[in-house]
Structure 1
Amino acid sequence: MASELFIGLMSGTSLDGVDAALVTFDHTQQPQLLKTHFLPYPADLRTQILALQHPTTNELETTARMGNTLAYLYADAVNALLAAAQVGAGEVTAIGCHGQTIRHRPELGFTMQIGNAALLSELTGITVVSDFRSRDIAANGQGAPLVPAFHQDVFSSKIHNRAIINIGGIANITYLSKAGDVFGFDSGPGNMLLDAWIKQHLGLDYDADGQWASTGNTIDPLLAAMLNEPYFAAAPPKSTGRDLFNTAWLNHYLNESQHAAHDVARTLVALSAHSIANAIDQHCGQVDEIYLCGGGAKNKLLQRELQSLMDTTSIATTDQLGMGVDWVEAIAFAWLAKKCITKQTANLPQVTGAKGLRILGAIYQA
């Protein structure tokens, strides 16, 4: 059993906390979720991570120390997960730790996720696999999205053409044709801009079910202007993050206009939905079924908006495929860790643009 247990840790661009998943792989090598744990980020930690998204004073030391802080937090998440599952650290082959993205600049040849994997291994006594994106970028790829290979393994159908849409801070799309083809890319902002906007105006971390945005009306000229962002028109392979879609980006389009805050919130939901729907129409061919995962899958307003734009396509969540929306990415990083440990390639050049298949991840042996 020891060789079959892996832990996946995911802390995404929404900065809400750490998703931890204990996963086993059966004889078919399909992941089976055994136990989960969520550890929220303290408010001050979230603020400090946000500050690191842009150049700051004494940035190198601040980043390194924040990496150590995250390692301790990740270790707490792992220990709580193991305690709940009544599993010892020695029974786990490896932890797949995505780390916290601070910069993602594939056009400049680098990406940075912090979390000090060496320290995490010391704190838990478990081998840690991290830095999954750098090897793909070194091979001239985008280093993202990485989950389409996992989606292909667990969600593909021989009957239906499917799109799997992960809506976190950024939204990414995986197209899985019934013929076996797979394609994927980041479509643009998911929850990121709406989260920042509601934090600024109501002091909340996110708009639960889109309730606040539901009280507003879409500002059509603002939506049209934002949809003219060149990223949306760019052809895949492409990936993005907070380096582009941030408060400064939004303020550029607002241009000191006096819009009601809840109307801007409603427009940001429309932006996410339209950019996803447009991307599917432009790049994914025929789609019979759409399955949502990530935090944005719980935003009922966003789901309704997307359904209205794609009224002939069935939209559901990955819960209906047997995998809870909150845990898809954490399970994916357990899967990626297993791929690395067993020396199997895990990137998809047709997705990232890399010049070939590569084994992803750096191993910190316990």
Structure 2
Amino acid sequence: MVARRPAIRSYAARTMYDSLDRLRARLESGEAVVAGCLSGTSADGIDVVLVRFDPGSGAPAPFAFRTLPFEPSLRRRLRSLLDTPDPDVSLEAFALLHRDLGEAFGHAVGEVCGDAGVAADLVGSHGQTLWHHDGRCGAGPASLQLGDGARIAVGTGAVVVNDFRAMDLALGGEGAPVSALADPFLFPNLGEPVALLNLGGMANLTLLAPGRAPLAFDTGPAGSLLDGLARRLLERDVDEGGAIASGGRASEPIVAEFLAHPFFRREPPKSTGRDTFGVDFVDRVVAAGGALAPADLLASAVELVARSVADALERFARPRPARLLLCGGGIHNRALRSALAARTGLAPESTGALGVDPDAREALVFAVLARLAVLARPCTSPAATGARGGGVLGAIHLPPVPAGGRGAIRPDRAD
């Protein structure tokens, strides 16, 4: 006799399933407040955006955005972990940081919601990338983000979706760039081909053209290299506005040496991270440019980033984009914008020209993906990440049920 699966009858289970049903109804009606949040490669704070979604098109309508700086000691711990070679990583430090980042994300969402006078129904949290491996060194691709989703759910009282890259990786994708999966919602009804360039820790392109599926991939380092050099050469977190690089002269031998890296020759789908362009890569650039003034080495790094983007557009953008739209922290680097204009032949614009705040775009991505997850809508794309088959991205964390002693799960056993 085959045993029947016991039905679960509990106040807790009913409450949790009811909360998801109510959330789906609010998402479909456009009433739900959704928060998207992440911490970028610079690890200096948490970006939080609040949106509601159009019930017809699913387009997000942001109404609040802030970047909240990390508490200094938390940022020091995070930077130490990001910059420490693998054998020296403490598992205790890793576990505690995962916990504390979750609490920090929950607090950040709560603060932005409080200022806006709303409560979040849903939070999409990317967390903080600790490691992203493209799988080209023998092992398969892997990616790891910190920031405990359960603690965000407890801290906000909202449903939380996180761990967005895992399903894409399980489907054979590279887990990046997932931003391309949300871009059709952020940039709908385009009348001409455009290239969206996110200048975060890594630079990634999304190529959008009418009637075509988005093509997306990482082009190589951006902030991970430029900010890494600023820390090494200037003892600053960033070359503010690209001011130092603007006064330097790029070294052609240095640029050519590092553009010979195998990653730049690969075809999409491709992604990269600190395993390839992290602290070790910065160290190699510093060693190779030992005789150069800091301004010249920074200018060389800017030129490397710009040429890698221009080469990617030349090789893979079909049809050629009519516009180059920038977002991410690198948009504020004037030296980089000038180099991109010179190398691509396109006048870089802000995504703000199409109504998307360039500083908020990445946080918006995770608000969009969280909505799709709760509505159980697959969004993976082989042209973006290489994933095979349709997958719903993200793990869902439900907020705690009300206290009262009725939450025990009791199986209903049939006679």
What is the TM-score with the length of structure 1 in the denominator?
0.95
Assess if the C-alpha contact under 8 Å between 1:167 and 1:297 holds in 2. yes
Structure 1 residue 158: Cα displacement: 4.4
Following superposition of structure 1 onto structure 2, how do residues 90-109 of structure 1 map, counting pairs within 5 Å?
A: 92-107=120-135, 108-109=140-141
Question: Taking structure 1 as reference, are residues 214 and 43 closer, same or farther at Cα in structure 2, changes over 3 Å only?
Answer: farther
> Which residue of the partner structure matches residue 100 of structure 2?
69
* 2:200 corresponds to 1:168: yes
Assess if the C-alpha contact under 8 Å between 2:41 and 2:223 holds in 1. no
Structure 1 residue 269: Cα displacement: 0.8
> Which residue of the partner structure matches residue 334 of structure 1?
367
Structure 1 residue 46: Cα displacement: 3.2
Structure 1 residue 253: Cα displacement: 4.2
Structure 2 Cα separation of the partners of residues 65 and 131 of structure 1: 18
Aligned residues: percent identity?
33
Structure 1 residue 250: Cα displacement: 3.0
1:351 aligned counterpart, secondary structure: coil
Structure 2 Cα separation of the partners of residues 156 and 187 of structure 1: 24
Following superposition of structure 1 onto structure 2, how do residues 148-167 of structure 1 map, counting pairs within 5 Å?
A: 148-167=180-199
> Which residue of the partner structure matches residue 9 of structure 2?
none
> Which residue of the partner structure matches residue 51 of structure 1?
80
* 2:320 corresponds to 1:292: no
Structure 1 residue 336: Cα displacement: 0.5
Assess if the C-alpha contact under 8 Å between 2:229 and 2:286 holds in 1. no
Structure 1 Cα separation of the partners of residues 323 and 180 of structure 2: 16
Alignment-mate amino acid for residue 183 of structure 2: H
| Aligned counterpart in structure 1 of residue 302 of structure 2, from 269, 280, 300 | 269
Assess if the C-alpha contact under 8 Å between 1:349 and 1:357 holds in 2. no
Structure 1 residue 247: Cα displacement: 2.8
* 2:215 corresponds to 1:183: yes
Alignment-mate amino acid for residue 223 of structure 2: N
Question: Taking structure 1 as reference, are residues 10 and 58 closer, same or farther at Cα in structure 2, changes over 3 Å only?
Answer: closer
Assess if the C-alpha contact under 8 Å between 2:39 and 2:47 holds in 1. yes
> Which residue of the partner structure matches residue 11 of structure 1?
39
**Range moving further from structure 2, 218-227 or 251-260:** 251-260
Structure 1 Cα separation of the partners of residues 250 and 204 of structure 2: 23
* 2:342 corresponds to 1:308: yes
Assess if the C-alpha contact under 8 Å between 2:186 and 2:356 holds in 1. no
> Which residue of the partner structure matches residue 87 of structure 1?
118
Structure 2 Cα separation of the partners of residues 251 and 38 of structure 1: 29
2:168 aligned counterpart, secondary structure: helix
Structure 1 Cα separation of the partners of residues 244 and 285 of structure 2: 21
Assess if the C-alpha contact under 8 Å between 2:106 and 2:151 holds in 1. no
Alignment-mate amino acid for residue 288 of structure 1: A
2:143 aligned counterpart, secondary structure: strand
Structure 1 Cα separation of the partners of residues 26 and 45 of structure 2: 27
Structure 1 residue 93: Cα displacement: 2.4
1:216 aligned counterpart, secondary structure: coil
Structure 1 residue 48: Cα displacement: 2.4
| Aligned counterpart in structure 1 of residue 384 of structure 2, from 347, 351, 354 | 351
1:63 aligned counterpart, secondary structure: helix
* 2:67 corresponds to 1:38: yes
Alignment-mate amino acid for residue 87 of structure 1: V
**Range moving further from structure 2, 192-201 or 254-263:** 254-263
Structure 1 residue 154: Cα displacement: 2.3
| Aligned counterpart in structure 1 of residue 258 of structure 2, from 204, 211, 226 | 226
Structure 2 Cα separation of the partners of residues 281 and 241 of structure 1: 23
> Which residue of the partner structure matches residue 29 of structure 1?
58
1:340 aligned counterpart, secondary structure: helix
| Aligned counterpart in structure 1 of residue 358 of structure 2, from 322, 325, 334 | 325
Structure 1 residue 63: Cα displacement: 1.0
Assess if the C-alpha contact under 8 Å between 1:14 and 1:192 holds in 2. yes
Larger radius of gyration: 2
Structure 1 residue 260: Cα displacement: 1.2
Structure 2 Cα separation of the partners of residues 57 and 250 of structure 1: 19
1:212 aligned counterpart, secondary structure: helix
Structure 2 Cα separation of the partners of residues 228 and 159 of structure 1: 36
Structure 1 residue 104: Cα displacement: 1.0
Q: What stretches of structure 1 of length at least 5 have no aligned partner?
A: none
Alignment-mate amino acid for residue 237 of structure 1: P
What is the TM-score with the length of structure 2 in the denominator?
0.84
**Range moving further from structure 2, 15-24 or 35-44:** 35-44
1:178 aligned counterpart, secondary structure: coil
> Which residue of the partner structure matches residue 120 of structure 1?
152
Structure 1 Cα separation of the partners of residues 243 and 198 of structure 2: 21
Q: What stretches of structure 2 of length at least 5 have no aligned partner?
A: 1-24, 400-415
Question: Taking structure 1 as reference, are residues 58 and 236 closer, same or farther at Cα in structure 2, changes over 3 Å only?
Answer: closer
Q: CA RMSD, aligned part only?
A: 1.6
Assess if the C-alpha contact under 8 Å between 1:13 and 1:242 holds in 2. no
Structure 2 Cα separation of the partners of residues 145 and 332 of structure 1: 11
Assess if the C-alpha contact under 8 Å between 1:307 and 1:315 holds in 2. yes
